[in-house]
Each structure stands twice: as structure tokens, then as C-alpha cells.
């Protein structure tokens, strides 16, 4: 039920190859790791005063996410607080890039499911969590135009996870019980 009519100019830039790791449009940023106190802070809203920074933030999130994918073979989204900027902005790259500014989530029903969740802030650690099966995310695009997207299944879970980062909540804090943490091994292709 992914429904979105907005097409980001970052998608076009990515297709043209102008967003590159460490390039003039962005850079690979360090992902904050579990235990870093900045991950537990509540992020501030992005304002029109931040407009000049949005393009840079998104380029940095893109490069950081692509680097993580190359290193670990995983990663579909990242929240701005994960790279040390406490602002309410999410970046997702599935079939194309999506940017969510000041998102708000609602859940059309109470149906939940349990799954194993991971996070770029703690590679190799898996956490059993419970998430809503369906969600609606309201957000602004890069021109501060309001948008809405309906989500179901893995995309609903993914954006709930990323949204939690904006409120200083990590998947470890959502574990279904105190025995729901598992160490895995992130595999790197050589």
C-alpha cells in the first residue's frame, strides 16, 4: 500500500550518478552506536530556517546509507539523529529515495505482529519487537508541501523504527521482553 506521488530530485540525482560517497553533494557520516547519549535525545522539528541544510543532510544520509549497504549488505532507511543531527528528518531508499520532514504517524487499527528488528546503530544485534502492521505517515517534502503515505507490512515496520529514532527510542527499548535480544553476525561480502 505504498502510495506516494512525490518524486524527489535526489532520486534523479542518484540516477544521474551525481550523489556519490564523499562527493561535493554529500559525505559518509559516522553512524552513532548504541550507548551514545545523542541517540536518546528527542529531535527538534525542521523549520524553514533549516532549508539551506536539508539538501546537505539528505545527501549525507544517502551516502551514509549506501556505504552501510555496501559494507553490511543491509539498510533501507536512516534517521538524521543517527548521524548526530537532532532534527526530525528520515531518509528511505527502497525502489527510490524518499525524504520525510517532520513526520507524524498514525495507526488505522490495532493489528500488530512480532518480528526481529535490527539497526544500523547496533550492527549484528537483533531485537524481537512488536509493531503495527499498518501505518499512515504524514510528512512534508523538501519544499514543505504536506504529503501522506499509507504503509503496510515491512515498510510500516521500517518507518515505525526510523520514526522512533526521532523520539530517542531504540529498538532495544521496544524488546517484547528481556530475553528478546540476539547476537547475529553481519556478513560482509568481499
What residues act catalytically?
A: 162
What letter does residue 177 receive in the DSSP assignment? Answer: S
Residue spans of alpha helices (H) in the chain:
9-16, 51-72, 154-166
With a CB cutoff of 8 Å and minimum separation 6, the contacts of 71 are 188
Q: What does 35-52 look like in DSSP terms, one character per residue?
A: T-GGGGSPPBPP-GGGHH
Helix axes 51-72, 9-16, angle to 10 degrees: 50
Amino acid at each position: 500500500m505504498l502510495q506516494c506521488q512525490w518524486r524527489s530530485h535526489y532520486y534523479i540525482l542518484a540516477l544521474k550518478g551525481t550523489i556519490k560517497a564523499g562527493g561535493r553533494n554529500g559525505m559518509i557520516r559516522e553512524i552513532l552506536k548504541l550507548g551514545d547519549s545523542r541517540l536518546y535525545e528527542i529531535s527538534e522539528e525542521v523549520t524553514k530556517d533549516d532549508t539551506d541544510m536539508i539538501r546537505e543532510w539528505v545527501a549525507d544520509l544517502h551516502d551514509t546509507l549506501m556505504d552501510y549497504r555496501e559494507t553490511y549488505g543491509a539498510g533501507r532507511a536512516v534517521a538524521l539523529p543517527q548521524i548526530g543531527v537532532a532534527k526530525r528528518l528520515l531518509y528511505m531508499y527502497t525502489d527510490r529515495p524518499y525524504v520525510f520532514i517532520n513526520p507524524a504517524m498514525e495507526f488505522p487499527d490495532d493489528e500488530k505482529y512480532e518480528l526481529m528488528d535490527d539497526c544500523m546503530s547496533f550492527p549484528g544485534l537483533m531485537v524481537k519487537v512488536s509493531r503495527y502492521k499498518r501505518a499512515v505517515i504524514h510528512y512534508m517534502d523538501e519544499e514543505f508541501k504536506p504529503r501522506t503515505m499509507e504503509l503496510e507490512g515491512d515498510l510500516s515496520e521500517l518507518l515505525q523504527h526510523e520514526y522512533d529514532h526521532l523520539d530517542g527510542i531504540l529498538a532495544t527499548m521496544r524488546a517484547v521482553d528481556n530475553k528478546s535480544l540476539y547476537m547475529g553476525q553481519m556478513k560482509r561480502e568481499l
